[in-house]
């Protein structure tokens, strides 16, 4: 019997495949809305972080007591729902995405998940939206086009409170960062630069978690 095909959001092989399978098999079932979003993402190759990473996000937001989160690159709003549930009724999450169709789907899911009142939906350039922010955030989550990653560091730091978290997805880039070619493609090159920036920054304490496609967790000093 052949193994079922993994959903695209699993990505993979950052950890040993058997370990990866075990970690996902251990996860408790998600509710109907999140399960439907996972299935839609798998069927239509929509980028979401998936449940293993989303649980980390929920934990980090809960541990840090975050109430104000800015999300850069939200797609259909999967991770947004996890953030919104973590911040509670008094919290606020900013959803950003450049695709109006994604935003419309996200609004529908937010309503069904019962978190729409905690979320502000903004359609357009996440970098531009972040540059306009004046008040510091507890968490800034970065999951936009990879070529823009280095720019996000410079924009995010001034808009993050001291002790706040700067979290970024896809920083191991399917393992390409470990053995990059002599002339890496633009996305790999940008992620390599980004990882160097966050580890060398005197304003950040950084750890990369080798789960799914790699998650960088940075604390602003």
pLDDT in tens, 191-207: 999 999 999 999 999 99
CATH of the domain at 53: 3.40.50.150
Token pair of 14, please? 């950052």
pLDDT digits (tens, 9 = 90+) for 163-178: 999 999 999 999 999 9
pTM score, whole prediction: 0.95
In terms of phi and psi (left: phi > 0; alpha: psi -120 to 50; beta: otherwise), the region of 190 is alpha
Does the pLDDT of residue 4 top 60, yes or no? no
Q: Give the CA distances from residue 56 to residues 154, 186, 209, 221, in Å, rounded to whole numbers and listed in that order.
A: 24, 28, 10, 21
- Is residue 123 included in any domain, yes or no? yes
- Is residue 73 included in any domain, yes or no? yes
211: how many CB neighbours lie within 10 A of its CB?
A: 18
**DSSP for 183-218?**
S--HHHHHHHHHHHHHHH-TTEEEEEE-STT-EEEE
**Mean pLDDT, rounded, for 88-104:** 98
Nearest to 218 by CA among 172, 164, 169, 175: 164
- Is residue 63 included in any domain, yes or no? yes
Lowest mean per-residue pLDDT among 32-36, 109-113, 143-147, 180-184: 180-184
pLDDT at 196: 98
pLDDT at 12: 64
- Is residue 3 included in any domain, yes or no? no
- Is residue 2 included in any domain, yes or no? no
Residues spanned by the domain of 207 = 8-220
- Is residue 1 included in any domain, yes or no? no
The residue written with tokens 């509670």 in the block is 88
- Is residue 84 included in any domain, yes or no? yes
Q: Judge whether 48 and 83 are in contact, CB under 8 Å.
A: no
pLDDT at 2: 46
Q: What domain count does the chain have?
A: 1
- Is residue 78 included in any domain, yes or no? yes
Nearest to 58 by CA among 99, 9, 115: 115
* Alpha-carbon span 8 to 56, nearest angstrom: 19
């Amino acid at each position: 019997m052949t193994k079922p095909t993994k959903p695209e959001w699993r990505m993979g092989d950052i950890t040993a495949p058997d370990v990866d399978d075990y970690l996902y098999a251990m996860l408790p079932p998600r509710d109907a809305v999140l399960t439907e979003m996972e299935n839609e993402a798998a069927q239509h190759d929509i980028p979401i972080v998936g449940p293993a990473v989303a649980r980390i996000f929920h934990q980090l937001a809960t541990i840090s007591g975050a109430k104000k989160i800015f999300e850069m690159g939200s797609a259909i709003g999967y991770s947004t729902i996890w953030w919104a549930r973590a911040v509670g009724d008094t919290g606020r999450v900013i959803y950003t995405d450049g695709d109006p169709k994604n935003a419309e789907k996200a609004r529908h899911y937010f309503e069904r998940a019962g978190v729409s009142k905690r979320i502000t939906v903004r359609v357009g350039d996440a970098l531009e939206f972040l540059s306009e922010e004046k008040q510091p955030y507890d968490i800034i989550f970065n999951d936009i086009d990879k070529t823009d990653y280095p720019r996000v560091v410079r924009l995010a730091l001034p808009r993050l409170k001291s002790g706040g978290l700067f979290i970024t997805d896809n920083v191991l880039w399917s393992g390409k960062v470990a053995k990059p070619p002599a002339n890496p493609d633009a996305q790999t090159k940008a992620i390599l630069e980004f990882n160097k920036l966050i580890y060398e920054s005197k304003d950040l304490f950084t750890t990369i978690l080798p789960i799914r496609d790699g998650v960088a967790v940075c604390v602003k000093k």
